[in-house]
Amino acid sequence: MAQDLVLDSRTDSAKSWAWWLYVAHAVSFFFTLGLFSFIPLILNYVKRPETEGTFVHSHHGWQIRSFWWYVVWMALGWILFATIIGILFAWVIWVAAWVWKAYRLIRGFIALNNNEPV
């Protein structure tokens, strides 16, 4: 069972880093709509190789993919916003992207706290 998993010091340190990166992504996301998420993203790329072979590795990939897909959907919203017809659709895309990113942060954070991969 994942809750009974004993973490070694390497995994414990990696989990701590991933936890703080979730927090940094969330703070940036909720207060700046992700404008400063590139900072924890860079740290995700730097720390991910150190977690190879642990459940934490999946969390770095999860955060990285969440960032880039959020950027894609927000950019698509801006492209649509530039057209008169697309203004309504842009808002729908932005809200959907925000809800999706919030879900990914919460789901990943819960899985990390349960010592589970995502």
pLDDT in tens, 55-82: 999 999 999 999 999 999 999 999 989 8
The first and second tokens of residue 11, run together, are 């995994």
**64 residue type, one letter:** I
Q: What is the DSSP string of 6-32?
A: PPPHHHHHHHHHHHHHHHHHHHHHHHH
Q: How far apart are CA 105 and CA 29, in angstroms?
A: 10
pTM of the model: 0.87
pLDDT computed for residue 5 by the predictor: 53
pLDDT computed for residue 1 by the predictor: 44
| Residue 3 clears pLDDT 60, i.e. is over it | no
Task: Give the C-alpha distances (Å, rounded to integers) separating 89 from 28, 34, 66, 117.
Answer: 24, 20, 21, 34
Distance of CA 110 to the CA centre of its chain: 12
